[in-house]
Structure 1
Amino acid sequence: MQLLASVLLPTYPDPPGPKIASNAVAVARWLRATLDVAMVNVDIPDVSNALSRFSLNLPAKIQEVEAASRQKGKTLLDAVAAEASRCNVTLTSQELKAQPALMGEEAAKEGRYFDLCVVGWTPNNEASQMTAEEVVFSSGRPTLIVPGDEDVGTLDHVVIAWDGSRVAARAVADAAPFLERASVISIITVTDEKVLPREDVGDRLARSLRARGLTTNVESIHVGDHPIGAALQEHALRIGGNLLVMGGWGHSRLRDIVLGGATEGILSDLRLPVLMSH
């Protein structure tokens, strides 16, 4: 069955970053997937009154902002299309629109029709970070968060952050296409962050993956006083990992104020591609 991936790109106020086109195509090529590009352009409701029309010409300003958003989307699409053609990746595209506060929600709704969601992340770009969070928690699909300003390269060393939880198990299952293509799989457990369900959770997962014909190694780490999200990424990079797989933890009704420590750390400071499932 053909794997379908969707890269979800908010265009307002700024897109995720200059590398998102090549990175999305690189992921699709690695997975031998069809790639759909969904531009989420801004749709600003006209709430102006007679005075604002007279003093600020608000409708014209709204049209100007929306036109700029669409142009950014076209530029992104052209870049993805050129890269997909170069790499022989089958590409489809569509244009969505949403109010500024609902762009992430619109992206998450569209992502439900694909096997994998890809979102870009760029420092100091609130739109890309909010979209990534919304897609992780609301799409119901595994979400690959990729840097918007760095090349991802080949995702052949997969690092699994494993604590034996439901969301971690979901993430491992969703990572199957990456695990099947990996040359190295490392399982890491954090022993001083919370109580684990059993002492050998990492070894137990390794046995399960080896029974499926996958080669794995297991490590335990201590984070000490370091934020767990940063510690997981730093360790993954230290051992040569280029994809981190983990569960995304957050209470659906309280997500705006309560996120799991590792999830919050990843979504606020991405250092390598992360596949996150909720």
Structure 2
Amino acid sequence: MKLLASLFLPTYPDPPGLKVVSNGVAVARHLGSALDAVIVNVDIPDVSNALSSFLLDLPAKIREVNAASRSRGKELLELIAAEAQRCNVPLTSQALKAQPALMGDVAAKEGRYFDLCMVGWTAKNQATQATAEEVVFSSGRPTLILPGDEDVIPLDHVVVAWDGSRVAARAVADAKPFLERASTISIVTVTDEKVLPREDTGDRLAHGLVARGFSATAESIHAGDNEIGAALQDHAIRINGGLLVMGGWGHSRLRDFVLGGATEGILSDLRLPVLMSH
């Protein structure tokens, strides 16, 4: 069965880094999947009155912002179409629109129709970070968060962050297409962050993966004074991991995210591709 992957590209207030386009296509090629490019343009409604129109020319400013968003979206679609053709990746595309506060919500709802969601992440770009959060926690699909400023292929060394929790188990199951294509799988457990269900929890997962025909080993690390998200990424980079797999912990109260420590650390400072499941 061919996988269907989606790549979400918000265009307001700033688009993601251009590397997200080539990275998304490269991942689809790696998985042998079809790709749907989803542009999310802003649609700011005209809420002006006669006074604001006279003093600020607000309707014209709104039209200008909406038009700029659509223009960026068109450019991104052209770039991804050219890249998909070059890499022989089946591509469909669509352009959605949403009010500024609902761009991530629109992306998450569309993501439910795919096997894998991909979102870009760019430092100091609130649009990409907010979209990533919403898709991770509201789409119901595994979400691959891609750096927007550097290449992400190869993904042949997969690092799994494991603590024996439900969300970690969900992430391992969702990572199967990546695990099947990996030459090396490293299970890493942080031992000084929380009480673990058993002392050998990482070894237990590694043994199960080996029994299924994968090449997997387990090791434990200490976060020490580091934030757990930073510790996991530091370790993955140190052992030349190409992809970090982890569960996403968090929930939403009146649309204000309350994130777990590891999740918050990843979403605030992404340094390698992370597949996150909730």
Which TM-score band applies after superposition, normalised by the shorter structure? Answer: over 0.9
- Partner in structure 2 of residue 118 of structure 1: 118
SS in 1 for 2:251: coil
Change in CA separation of 1:254 and 1:179 when aligned onto 2, cut-off 3 Å = farther
- Partner in structure 2 of residue 227 of structure 1: 227
State the Cα deviation string for residues 58-95 of structure 1 (Å, max 9, x = none): 11111111110001001111111111000000000001
Does the 8 A contact of 2:104 with 2:132 survive in 1?
yes
SS in 1 for 2:127: helix
- Partner in structure 2 of residue 46 of structure 1: 46
Does the 8 A contact of 2:158 with 2:244 survive in 1?
yes
SS in 1 for 2:240: coil
Equivalent position amino acid for 2:88 in 1: N
- Partner in structure 2 of residue 262 of structure 1: 262
Does the 8 A contact of 2:250 with 2:257 survive in 1?
no
- Partner in structure 2 of residue 250 of structure 1: 250
State the Cα deviation string for residues 226-264 of structure 1 (Å, max 9, x = none): 000000000000001010000000023377352110000
Does the 8 A contact of 2:244 with 2:274 survive in 1?
yes
Equivalent position amino acid for 2:236 in 1: A
Does the 8 A contact of 2:28 with 2:89 survive in 1?
yes
Give distance in 2, aligned partners of 1:97 and 1:41.
5
How far is the alpha carbon of 1:268 from its aligned partner?
0.2
SS in 2 for 1:199: coil
State the Cα deviation string for residues 4-50 of structure 1 (Å, max 9, x = none): 00001100011111101100000000000000000000000111001
State the Cα deviation string for residues 205-232 of structure 1 (Å, max 9, x = none): 0111111110101110001110000000
SS in 2 for 1:266: helix
- Partner in structure 2 of residue 167 of structure 1: 167
- Partner in structure 1 of residue 79 of structure 2: 79
1:166-185 alignment runs, 5 A limit:
166-185=166-185
How far is the alpha carbon of 1:168 from its aligned partner?
0.1
Equivalent position amino acid for 2:258 in 1: V
Give distance in 1, aligned partners of 2:62 and 2:26.
35
Give distance in 2, aligned partners of 1:5 and 1:92.
10
Q: Does 1:277 align with 2:273?
A: no
Equivalent position amino acid for 2:265 in 1: G
SS in 2 for 1:8: strand
SS in 1 for 2:223: coil
Give distance in 1, aligned partners of 2:80 and 2:193.
40
Give distance in 1, aligned partners of 2:254 and 2:99.
22
- Partner in structure 1 of residue 10 of structure 2: 10
- Partner in structure 1 of residue 204 of structure 2: 204
Equivalent position amino acid for 1:85 in 2: Q
RMSD: 0.9
Does the 8 A contact of 2:159 with 2:188 survive in 1?
yes
Change in CA separation of 1:255 and 1:176 when aligned onto 2, cut-off 3 Å = farther
Give distance in 1, aligned partners of 2:192 and 2:56.
57
Give distance in 1, aligned partners of 2:185 and 2:252.
31
SS in 2 for 1:251: strand
Give distance in 2, aligned partners of 1:208 and 1:34.
30
Q: Which runs of 5+ in 1 are unaligned?
A: none
Give distance in 2, aligned partners of 1:39 and 1:148.
16
Identity of aligned residues (%): 78
TM-score, length-scaled by structure 2 = 0.98
- Partner in structure 1 of residue 96 of structure 2: 96
Q: Does 1:62 align with 2:83?
A: no
SS in 2 for 1:245: strand
Give distance in 2, aligned partners of 1:29 and 1:126.
28
How far is the alpha carbon of 1:154 from its aligned partner?
1.1
SS in 1 for 2:253: coil
- Partner in structure 2 of residue 146 of structure 1: 146
Q: How many residues align?
A: 278
TM-score, length-scaled by structure 1 = 0.98
